[in-house]
Amino acid sequence: MRTLNSYLLLPRPGDTIKWWIVPLAFLYGVVVRGDVDRELVARAAAVWFGLEFLIYQARYQWNDIRGFRADQLHPDAASRGRLPGPLDRERRHVAASWGVVAGRLVAAAGLGAWLGWDAVGRPLAVLAIAVFGLAAAYEACKSRATGRSDSVPPPLTLPLLGVWLLIGGGYAIRGLTGLALAVDIWERPVLAGACFVACWSFGISFVMGRWALESLAFARPVAGRLEWSATARHGREHTTGLARWLPERVGAEVSSAASWRPLRLRTRLAAPWNLAFVVAGAAAFVVGRLMVGGAVDAALLLAALAGAVLSVLVAQVGKPRLWVALGCAVVAAVVAERLGAPRAAVMTTPWAAFALAHWWFSCQSLQSLGRPLLERRPGATRSHAARAPS
């Protein structure tokens, strides 16, 4: 279990992979723009720091405060790194966390005031409103969707569907922020809309795939099938609800659910992580076409269709998906050139980035989640399997 001080310093170290979204989107915008200066980079760095270390960490703390009791009952409570217990210290630890939440938001306001309202203050204020507005909607849906069913998978309800739809919002906020720091996208509403759809949909795909793996903490393979132990008191319906789209059979070589890699297999196209990825791929192709100078015309529909078809191939071919993703990236560049894109490689970069990220994540198991090199350590499988519920 993490110490309280370690948690308060950085609540979600496992989510630092998301910290790359803003810089990568910014870098893509700079490449397309063709020039960069020190002032632009400094402003982007300040907004990035304020968003990720101050605003988003405060948002994660809020989530952990609300889910404190359910997190203590999770079979992987120690390794998940949420607000540490035990339950008898709830009041003290929650109060400390609220204090740091307030401190982070005050620090974000101070950073904006110090570096200037127009340059940093206004962007951070808008981002704080967007992050916590989205968080409020998410928490409201989650409170109505979880803690109510002992079934795995639980029934599909509107609040549960709402949780699944809202989880991509953070990725849209980050992607739009990074691109907007390099390129004035607000005067190009079609580009802003396509970027919004691409990042939001990819966020849904990525988080749903992660949650599908996290649900396996409540499962164990028995006679080729998964046996589940989650109940309403665990409050995990938003993750165990995805079990309906996991493969029905578990191979005889799988000794524990934690080491199983279900997303590496061919899951149904109707699985929400696959559908969201197809939408993201279509929108990413449109973003690339507009970024290199494409007009709003019929060519955008062809670009969206090409992105969707190639995304279906990546999602459905199964292992080894890396070669499929790389091959489709080459095909995407050829298609982009045929569509008249002046810089085909630059146009296909957003789609290729999504495809490679989708491939990488599909290769993970619960025990390697967030730590892809974990399985290289001797005894890692045994230590994680020991934490799985019996």
Q: Give the whole-angstrom CA distance, residue 173 versus residue 196.
A: 8
For residue 205, what are the contacts with CB-CB under 8 A and spacing of at least 6?
168, 272, 273, 274, 276, 277, 280, 358
Provide the pLDDT for residue 321: 66
Q: Does 227 map to a domain?
A: no
Helix or strand (DSSP H, E) at 147: none
Total domains present in the chain: 1
CATH number for position 27:
1.10.357
Give the 3-state secondary structure of residue 227. Answer: strand
**164: which 2 tokens?**
């699944």
Give the residue-averaged pLDDT of 371-380: 44
Cβ atoms of 264 and 234 within 8 Å: the answer is no
Q: Does 390 map to a domain?
A: no
Cβ atoms of 73 and 234 within 8 Å: the answer is yes
Cβ atoms of 352 and 329 within 8 Å: the answer is yes
Q: Give the whole-angstrom CA distance, residue 85 versus residue 1.
A: 8
- Structural domain range at position 140: 14-184
Q: State the pLDDT confidence band at 370, using cuts at 50, 70 and 90.
A: low
Beta bridge partners of 228: 219
pLDDT tens digits, residue range 9-43?
999 988 888 999 999 999 999 999 888 899 999 99
Q: Does 168 map to a domain?
A: yes
Q: Does 176 map to a domain?
A: yes
For residue 24, what are the contacts with CB-CB under 8 A and spacing of at least 6?
178, 353
For residue 139, how many other CB atoms are within 10 A of its CB? Answer: 18
Which residue in 195, 352, 351, 202 sits closest to 273, CA to CA?
Answer: 202
Residue 382 scores a pLDDT above 50: no
pLDDT tens digits, residue range 161-173?
999 999 999 999 9
Cβ atoms of 273 and 209 within 8 Å: the answer is yes
Please list, residue by residue across 215-231, b when 16 or more beta carbons sit within 10 angstroms of its beta carbon and e when fewer do. Answer: bbbbbbbeeeebebebb
Q: Does 52 map to a domain?
A: yes
Q: What are the E-state strand segments in 291-341? A: none
Q: Does 216 map to a domain?
A: no
pLDDT tens digits, residue range 180-239?
999 998 889 999 999 999 999 999 999 999 999 999 999 999 989 999 999 999 999 999
The DSSP line for 19-69 is GGHHHHHHHHHHHHH----HHHHHHHHHHHHIIIIIIIHHHHHHHHHHTHH
Provide the pLDDT for residue 296: 66
Provide the pLDDT for residue 302: 85
pLDDT tens digits, residue range 234-269?
999 999 999 999 998 998 888 899 999 999 888 999
Q: Does 8 map to a domain?
A: no
CA dist 20 → 135, 281, 290 (Å) = 21, 19, 23
pLDDT tens digits, residue range 277-300?
999 999 999 999 899 876 667 778
Q: Does 315 map to a domain?
A: no
